[in-house]
Chains A and B, each alone.
Chain A
Amino acid sequence: MQGVAGKILRVNLTERKITTDEPEEDFYRKYLGGAGFVSYFLLKEVPPGIDALSPENKIIYALGPMTGLAMPGATRNCIGAKSPLTGGYSKTEVGGFWPMEVKKAGYDAIIVEGRADSPVYLLVTNDGVELKDAGHLWGKTVMDTHDTIAEETGIKGIRTSAIGPGGENQVRYACVINDLKDAAGRGGLGAVMGSKNLKAIAVRGRKNPQVADAAKLRELTLFMNKEYYDLPLFNPSMHDVGTGEHSMMISGNAVGNMPSHNFRDNDFPTVEKITATTTMDVYGTGMEACAACAIRCKKTVAIQEPWNVDKRNGGPEYESLGALGSTCGVDDLAAIIKANELANLYSMDTISLGVSIAFGMECFENEIITLEDTGGIDLRFGNAEAMLQMVEMIARREGIGATLAEGTKRAAEILGHGSEEFAMHVKGLELPMHDPRVKQGLGIVYSFEAHGADHCAGLHDTAATQPSAGFEHLKGMGATIPLPANDLSGDKVANQKASHLWSLFRDSAVSCQFVPWTFSQQVEIIAAATGWSYTAHEALQLGERVATLGRIFNLREGIDSSQDELPKRFFNGTKSGGLKNGGIDKEKMDEAVHTMYAMMGWDEHTGVPTRAKLAELGISWAEEEIPATVA
């Protein structure tokens, strides 16, 4: 095989046993890598009904054929497990340098099973794989963990994928951090590492697998590096300030897309104070890149007063600026940047973290949480100091922090008194910073997607409202016509389906969505790397396979179509701002979700994949995993 290492590393922590799988080429072509591997192994190997934080769960770190290629957007990995936050299927992607090292060390994936009886970290090199004691690392931040491993192994250029105290304390939205600042953010997979006593996976590799057509890959790389500023899918501000550029956040606020005060208001007059442009103007120290990428979309920032922020820990993305900022009513940029740094050091997803704190703030303002509960902290919207204190308390599960560490769905169940009205999640996964009242097609994807409210899984409606070169590209994947952002017709569902399947192929490849590769180019890259006559049809079918396996995983866990629903808040407008004229038409949204089921080859009423679709996708084996109660 070419373009892949041909080996999957399997580590059983309970037995401290390390083995290697060598799947056949047919398996690689069918599931590709990344999200494809995650979907397969979760459904095949994780028993139904287990506690996500028990030894029975498995965590899968999966690369794809693109991972490690010396081209932009190609150094990423996917991580998957049963989510402690949603109780269902979970996968999340991350970049940096770690994925490339895993490939060079000779593996396409690492599957970790069981639970170690004491803290460990895994060291992977071309010379071997070993479990090392991590008792001295437990309690350390991600940065201290990385630095200690680098120092004690003495391996120059070693890369880590690690957790901090948030993961150790099993905050249900703890994330996994590659090196110091690249987050595999969503779904609480850092808590799964914590539950397994797995502090980190440290890797250094030496040799990339051979590719089939190096000249073609070089040609595509040169094209991207020379032309990307002029490509229709490229956003030039990504190179300058990363996500969250000034005009994007200001215009978003003007039309109601800038969540504020827990999605209650979406009218944040001081938004200019917290944009990425302001971040870079005031605190920026430079832009950095993942391996071999010319885009350089990662901000670095430094602050000395009133809090110290080390530039090694990275700067906030748009999602973090929104979640820890406007969603909490906070416009103190230094506090937001500090909270973002703490989230990286402690390994917590900034989206779920910010939305959980905002939930706490709304509960506080409605006297569901009291001063006694907070230990005297005035947990009102806009109180930056309180927001920072909550970050610390959540990471340590102290006081009310222990409740908010459960995520908004469980926290509302604990607190009661109508607090579920303030819990902004789908299936337990907190909403990202793209309001489905504005981007209603994305709301369809938030609703039906196995993972929950994931902004990377669908088309952002505001990018497809008019004919454009970018939309022409989407047509090649099945999109129909450009439509208004609030349209929920069958044509909109078709557009979203096309974009969703592309995202799942991309996450299997594994390719970055910020690099403006077209779908066709990504298919070409897979063909050039592997030597397969890989086609666009195969790529879209892979997307369907991933979505369908995720769907069945959820059905097995009791997560059915009744959970394919947005929070009630989104069916109403706001008091002022761009959403003052109303929210989503619930009847139309429900109809759109059911139309999506039908387009996916699932039962239009129940959302259960049909036998015919499973056969078409070559996954008839999954039929026996569908519970008899819903089949």
Chain B
Amino acid sequence: MDRILRCRLESRFGERLTGPVRQRHDETEIRIAPGDVPEVLLALHDESEFRFRMLSDLAGVDTGTTMQAVYHLWSDTTADWLRVIADGMSRDDPRVPSVTFLWKGAEWMEREAYDMFGITFEGNRDLRRIYMPPDYASFPLRKDFFLADDAARSPAGGVRHMEQTHGPTNAQTGARIRQAPSS
């Protein structure tokens, strides 16, 4: 855990952070609003105290209530991975600005997140489906997309059969409705 990085992030982006800076193992995590993504990532990329030159990963996450775009960055100024979570996109029409102006290589990762979660990356000039056929209508990695035949559809999706399911379940499939941890 890099305490100095935490202080730097807090002092630089103070009011932009929508949650506390979290640290665990070799990871530092910040949360920002989707609209702030270009400015925050540009600052992290360019400013000499951060120098996060490498976009290590870009992922979409469906938390059950909102959509997230998650960026993992690497820098030579710190021993930590920096995780930037753009949180709070609506599930009906998730939109976040693209980061292809910084990393052109993010284009396909954004296409993948669009294909799998339906997140629209505004400014990506090639945002079409990458894996699924062009006439495909749904987004497979969303949590309301159930597999045709698997444990997820069974009444005890995700828990052992001897255990009771206490959470909310889907009326049609009987599958447990899962939600991402709030913390």
Q: Indicate whether A and B interact.
A: no
